[in-house]
Chains A and B, each alone.
Chain A
Amino acid sequence: MSAESRTVAREAWEETLGDLKAQGFAYLDLLTAIDRGDQIEVVAHVVEPVSAGQIRVSTRVPAVDPRLATATQLFPAAAWHEREAAEMFGLVFDGHPDPRPLLRRASPGRPPLRTATVLAARVAVPWPGAADPESAGKGARRRQLPPGVPVDWLDETST
């Protein structure tokens, strides 16, 4: 089922969700984030349980100041979603009662789901796509690199 979408300013986030809850959209289905480059989009999906109507609300916060009011006072279920979105995208949910990372230990590295974050763990794993059957026995014509990985990235660690 396709859901109606609403985009609101960061300042209107809590109020919008509160209004929707008052209108019967009392079930928080999902809250997550998307890296849009210089902005982080936060998306919440609320459901009206009787009609199963759905509304998707989104807002954008600057990547350099990724703060947003928590929705936990309205939807207690937002607590885990916000903790996960916070650790994965570096978001800060103001007023969250328990802002510990949900899935990972607190780490000083970049948030893993920001697109600028290079997945360093992949350096330790050989890329299965590096083999080149066409030039087997002839010496590889060119080194294959995983898609999306900076060209000189593996060189620092290999050989």
Chain B
Amino acid sequence: MSPVAHGVIALLPEACTSCMICVRECPTWCITVESHAEQVGEPGARRPRTVSILDRFAIDFGLCMYCGICIDVCPFDALEWAPAIDNSAANRNDLVHDTERLAGWRMHD
């Protein structure tokens, strides 16, 4: 394990079901998930299924304490540690990483 293995948290947006579990377990309340529900009809199904579509996922690294609880609790392995250490910012708002930036931290799929 590299000494900076826990540098930043990466997101795989395709795996995230917007279930909100990480948002609710995060001790610092620094995760934001925005989503909407869509009806998906499937051949052979009597009624359409409601699925949540992820609109925005953001982690505020100005509040995050890198405890890793969100990574542990995600039932879909949508979050993981990434070794980046260049996630500092010149102003407070840039410490909020949204979907694309979090997805960009991934080392592999």
Q: Which residues of A contact B (CB under 8 A)?
A: 122, 125, 127-129, 131-134, 136-137, 144, 146-147
Contacts and interface: CB of A to CB of B under 8 A. Distances in A.
B23 A128 contact: yes
Interface of B: 18-20, 23-26, 29, 31-37, 50, 52
B52 A134 contact: yes
B36 A131 contact: no
A129 B30 CA distance: 10
A74 to B, nearest CB: 31
Contacts of A132: 20
B37 A137 contact: yes
A68 B104 CA distance: 50
A134 B20 CA distance: 10
Closest 4 CB pairs of A and B: A129-B24, A133-B52, A133-B35, A136-B37
B36 A144 contact: no
Given A127-B29, A128-B29, A128-B31, A136 B24 contact: no
Contacts of B37: 133-134, 136-137
Contacts of B52: 133-134, 136
Contacts of B33: 128, 131, 133
10 contacts: A125-B29, A127-B29, A128-B31, A131-B33, A131-B35, A133-B35, A133-B37, A136-B52, A144-B24, A147-B25
Contacts of A137: 37
B5 to A, nearest CB: 19
Nearest to B21: A129
Contacts of B50: 134
A136 B52 CA distance: 9
B20 to A, nearest CB: 6
Given A127-B29, A128-B29, A136 B35 contact: yes
Contacts of A131: 20, 23, 33-35
